Amino acid sequence: MNFQSAWPCPAWAVMTSLWVILSFSSLSNAQTTTAAPSGCGQGLDPIYYYLCDLSSAWGIVLEAITSAGIVSSFILIIVLVASTPFIQDPRKKSILGTQIFFLVGTTGLFCLVFDIIVKQNFSTCASRRFLFGVFFAMCFSALWSHGISLNCLVRRNRGPNGWWVFLIALCLTLVEVIINTEWLIITIVRTASTLGQPCAIFNQDFVMALIYVMFLILAGFVTAWPAFCGRYGHWSKHAIFILITLFLSICIWIAWIVMYIYGNVQLVKSLYWDDPTLAIALVSNAWAFIFFYIIPEISQLTKPNLEQTFEEEGYQARGVGYETILKEQISQSNYVENKAFSMDEPAGGKCKHNLFMTTCQFP
């Protein structure tokens, strides 16, 4: 009796202790898996941790720089639209729509940074891989079409209609939209069917899908150079803005592609550094667009017609003014009177002219 009555007690104690241990371990695991990092709330979805994680400072820094870029782009769009009544040169006014299109693409680049800071899921990886090339295509196609317009202006002082320049930029962007749509459908179907992960796309495939955008960069860079050889050289300063912007873009693209394909893999940091590499490339290139193209272009919009300025400067250099013209008329009238007086000689007399005086002899 004692043995039988004593047996359930140790068994119950063992089972109770095991249940307590398992419960404590499961509770501790749940706390470690759901514990939010410093700076983030407890109920926040883990995919948004980089937006507030103080231990991963790259997300917060890029978030602040990107927010400033979005606000700046919005203000510049308002400035472009508000400056329309003050633009005296119709040729500068015609390019305004393409520049607003360019700013919309720049704003999209800044907004896309938040999509890259957020951790990958099906929606974020699809949107970032589709919109990355589309927004860049908007910016580079606008620069290329502006370069084409400048080549006409420096030679004939007349450019194509502003609607044609905008349609060229829009059509060049639609080509990238079609390319990215086909590529995204093919890669998502392939990776979802083989790997079961629609975001598992190799970095090399992502870069290869941007070949058309690289073509737009090189085409715009080559097209802007002939703008220095025209007769109307005052338009060449706009080509300088385009060349500097595209040169910096080429440097940024070479840097992020090398790191994205080769550098991160060699440093065994591909899992952690791929997203920061893309985000830094977006932010730096978007700010280069603002500082080296949009702001200089806005500073040139409201300036007067340069041909009239050159003519006025030429007249002033020659001393052509109201007082100068009046003096010339007075001197001409005095010359005519003196000439008439010198020719009014007596009929029978003889006059001798020397350097200092005129003497006449009468019969």
What is the predicted pLDDT for the residue at 268?
Answer: 74
Q: Cβ-count burial of 28 within 10 angstroms (0-12 exposed, 13-18 middle, 19+ buried)?
A: exposed
What is the predicted pLDDT for the residue at 3?
Answer: 38
For the chain, how big is the Rg over CA atoms in Å? 38
352 DSSP β-pair partners: 359
358-361 vs 350-353, strand pairing mode: antiparallel
Mean pLDDT of the chain: 78
pTM: 0.75
Nearest C-alpha neighbor of 212 from the set 220, 200, 203, 223: 220
Ranking 8-17, 143-152, 243-252, 296-305 by mean pLDDT, the lowest is 8-17
Place of tokens 């905008």: 166
- 130 CB contacts (<8 Å, ≥6 apart)? 180, 181, 184
What is the predicted pLDDT for the residue at 200?
Answer: 73
DSSP per-residue letters across 113-165: HHHHHSPP-HHHHHHHHHHHHHHHHHHHHHHHHHHHHHHHHHHHS----HHHH
What is the predicted pLDDT for the residue at 196?
Answer: 54
- 251 CB contacts (<8 Å, ≥6 apart)? none
How does pLDDT run across 126-142, given as a tens digit for each residue? 888 899 999 999 999 99
Q: What is the mean pLDDT of residues 169-192?
A: 88
Q: What topology does CATH give the domain 46-301?
A: Rhopdopsin 7-helix transmembrane proteins (1.20.1070)
What is the predicted pLDDT for the residue at 330?
Answer: 56
Phi and psi at residue 209, to the nearest 5°: -70, -10
What is the predicted pLDDT for the residue at 120?
Answer: 82
Query: What's the maximum distance between 2 C-alpha atoms anywhere in the chain?
Result: 183
Q: What is the mean pLDDT of residues 51-71?
A: 88
76 pLDDT exceeds 70? Answer: yes
Percent of the chain at pLDDT above 70? 71
What is the predicted pLDDT for the residue at 31?
Answer: 37
Q: What is the mean pLDDT of residues 153-158?
A: 88
45 pLDDT exceeds 60? Answer: yes
Residues 107 and 66: their CA atoms lie apart, in Å, by 9
What is the predicted pLDDT for the residue at 291?
Answer: 96
C-alpha distance from residue 32 to each of 118, 119, 226, 315 (Å) = 21, 19, 62, 81
What is the predicted pLDDT for the residue at 254?
Answer: 96
Q: Which residues in 68-132 belong to E strands, given as ranges?
A: none
Please tell me which of 9-18, 26-35, 101-110, 152-161 the model is most confident about, judged by mean pLDDT: 101-110
Encoded tokens for 227: 């703008």
What is the predicted pLDDT for the residue at 360?
Answer: 58
DSSP per-residue letters across 180-214: HHHHHHHHHHHHHHHTS-TT---HHHHHHTTHHHH
How does pLDDT run across 279-335, given as a tens digit for each residue? 999 999 999 999 999 999 999 888 876 554 444 444 444 444 445 545 555 555 554
17 pLDDT exceeds 50? Answer: no
CA of residue 314 relative to chain centroid, distance:
37
Residue 218 CB: number of other CB atoms within 10 A? 13
Please tell me which of 183-187, 188-192, 241-245 the model is most confident about, judged by mean pLDDT: 241-245
Q: Is 201 helix (H, G, I), strand (E, B) or coil?
A: coil
Q: What is the mean pLDDT of residues 218-222?
A: 96
Which amino acid is located at 199 in the chain?
Answer: C
What is the predicted pLDDT for the residue at 46?
Answer: 78
Residue 313 CB: number of other CB atoms within 10 A? 10
236 pLDDT exceeds 70? Answer: yes
**pLDDT band at 146; cut points 50, 70, 90:** very high
Residues 290 and 192: their CA atoms lie apart, in Å, by 39
What is the predicted pLDDT for the residue at 341?
Answer: 46
**pLDDT band at 107; cut points 50, 70, 90:** very high
What is the predicted pLDDT for the residue at 329?
Answer: 56
Ranking 23-27, 65-69, 199-203, 248-252 by mean pLDDT, the lowest is 23-27
